[in-house]
Chain A
Amino acid sequence: MEKERLFGKTLDELKAVAAQVGLPKFAAKQMADWLYKKDIRSIDEMTNLSVKGREALKEYYEFGLTEPTKVQASIDGTKKYLFPTDHAKFIETAMIPDDDRKTVCVSSQVGCKMGCLFCMTGKQGFQGHLTAGEIVNQIRSIEENGEVSNIVYMGMGEPFDNLDNVLKSIEILTDDWGYAMSPKRITVSTIGIIPGMKKFLETSNAHLAVSLHSPFDEERKQLMPIQTAYPVQKVLDEIKSWEFGRQRRVSFEYIMFGGLNDTPAHAKELARILNGIKCRINLIRFHPIPDTPLKSSNEETLQSFKDLLNSKGILTTIRASRGQDIYAACGLLSTKALVKKEEEPDY
């Protein structure tokens, strides 16, 4: 019998586990302490549970951590971890050091369904959702465990297409019984799946980042198929109905494609559609991928685009490219080479 993993369970789920194996109710909190606050790796090490209770737990459950099978280090200090997931699939996680900060960029799915034209993850298609445990394991099982200052859900996958597991993972990371991190240290990035975004904003105080990439509908549709289902104007209408500021921030990600979305007209239209939203824009250098018809904007254009947006009153920064030499930079994560076809495609 395949044993279920304890790691990744919420306090309520641990209460159900305790009841199932005949442990007292308070054992749920004790298990949460062992899982999320202490550095142990087995049920046997949960020494404040009775021996009988631990044996009963082990009958159905395992601790549930997964070690990375590969680590690559960039010349700039960024690391890329390869993790196996259930059902013999793989995901990548990036750890980006910056002065005293260590930011972990976690994946939420194996592959991605969204098919954005500029993204390497999209090219591998979709192979599955990660569980909450598999998401949190990307922080717990890296060498920098315990030193992580920030978490961004910007790795493989669209977080709001795996909403329940993403919300559960945030609960584990931020609740007092879990890692007790401030939600201000967590940012979830979406391409704009409105129902998921709405539920996230209702239930979490973590920051929101939205991939915009063009203020013009037809152009965005060519870059991001999601535009046909959730047009950016509707995404912005939803965002405008929420309060953002110091407690919870919203930022917009904008990859700069040379000769496509980097003109002054784009900057002006961006400023127009974002009017009324207290936000920041992160300009991102495009990292070319195979078969792409897109190219990067040059540095001069990046700077003048940034200056124009800043002059319109929108705080705009250029995100440093990190880990490009190990394919850990924005839009480059992929485990396509490790995907085993489970069935013949339907086309």
Chain B
Amino acid sequence: MKKSTDYIKYDDELFQVALLKNDEIAPGVYVLSLPRLHDFKAGQVVKIGLPEGEPPRMYSICSGEKEDELKILFNVKGGGWLTPRLAKLQPGAPILISEPMGDFTGNDEPAWWVASGTGIAPFYSMFKSGLGKNKTVVHGGRYLQNFYFEDEFLPELNERYIRCCSQEKGGDVYHGRLTHFLDDQDNLPKDEKFYLCGSPEMVVETRDLLIRKGIPYGNIIAEIYF
């Protein structure tokens, strides 16, 4: 736990901190940087909220375990209460954060990380924490601008970093949904874990597909946005 000048205890579970940075990294997609109050395991989530606002919501941590700042990746949800307000926050603004929680954590065994959209956040955290060496990353998005951390994934993972773009064509990017890409693979490893993170639709469709392709369901671990 950081020194108490970095935060104010807001209630039983939330701490109030001052926002350090708010970067729009793609249209409608932001990275919030906050002081890191607690140690965490890559892949864990925190609750994020605003003082006097609606109940906080869970977000995956999107930074490495050893980084000084804790980062959160989010996109603005039309009609949502929280994300339009988060998008407008300026550095210094008060923001609420919980202790890290959750069990969607990785290890150093070979595995596949499959994400759609901002579901890449927990895998980026694992990657920045040194767990990316023997991983295959499959990231799906509608547009080429949705591969938020490609500049970091690509040099390190090379052909084990697969971008699947359903609406645009470009360079080495697979044109089509990530489910089509996975369906095209003949030799998916049956003894490796598949970690899925993204929308419920992506998770259930991908999980069904992997099971059909012979992956034991015990090797499929999913985290769903809700």
User: B102 near A114 (CB under 8 angstroms)?
Assistant: no
User: A161 near B226 (CB under 8 angstroms)?
Assistant: yes
Q: Which of A17-25, A120-128, A168-176 contacts B (4 or more CB under 8 A)?
A: A120-128
**Of A122, A231, A293, A346, which one neighbours B198 at CB under 8 angstroms?**
A346
Query: In the complex, what's the smallest C-beta–C-beta distance from B220 to chain A, in angstroms?
Result: 7
| Residue of A115, A125, A217, A293 most packed against chain B (CB within 10 A) | A115
Interface flags, B134-168, vs A, CB<8A=1, else 0: 00000011100010000000000000000010110
| Residues of A82-130 contacting chain B, CB below 8 A | 111-115, 117, 122-123, 125-126
Given contacts A123-B208, A161-B226, A291-B212, contact A344 B200 (CB under 8 A): no
Which residues of B are found within 8 Å of A126, using beta-carbon distances? 200-201
| Residues of A217-276 contacting chain B, CB below 8 A | 217, 221-222, 225-229, 231
**Of A114, A221, A344, A347, which one neighbours B164 at CB under 8 angstroms?**
A347
Given contacts A113-B226, A114-B224, A123-B208, contact A345 B199 (CB under 8 A): yes
Interface of B is mostly: mixed
User: A115 near B217 (CB under 8 angstroms)?
Assistant: no
Query: In the complex, what's the smallest C-beta–C-beta distance from B47 to chain A, in angstroms?
Result: 9
Interface flags, B26-66, vs A, CB<8A=1, else 0: 00000000000000000001000000000100100000000
CA distance A311 to B221 in the complex (A): 34
Q: Is B103 positioned at the interface, with any CB of A under 8 Å from its CB?
A: yes
Given contacts A114-B200, A114-B226, contact A347 B211 (CB under 8 A): no
* Nearest neighbor of A222 in chain B, beta-carbon distance: B218
CA distance A125 to B116 in the complex (A): 14
> Which residues of B are at the interface with A, using a C-beta cutoff of 8 A?
45, 55, 58, 101-104, 116-117, 140-142, 146, 164, 166-167, 177-179, 198-204, 206-208, 211-212, 216-218, 220-226
The 4 closest A-B pairs by CB, nearest first: A347-B140, A347-B116, A125-B201, A228-B104
> Which residues of A are at the interface with B, using a C-beta cutoff of 8 A?
111-115, 117, 122-123, 125-126, 158, 161, 195, 217, 221-222, 225-229, 231, 291, 293, 344-347
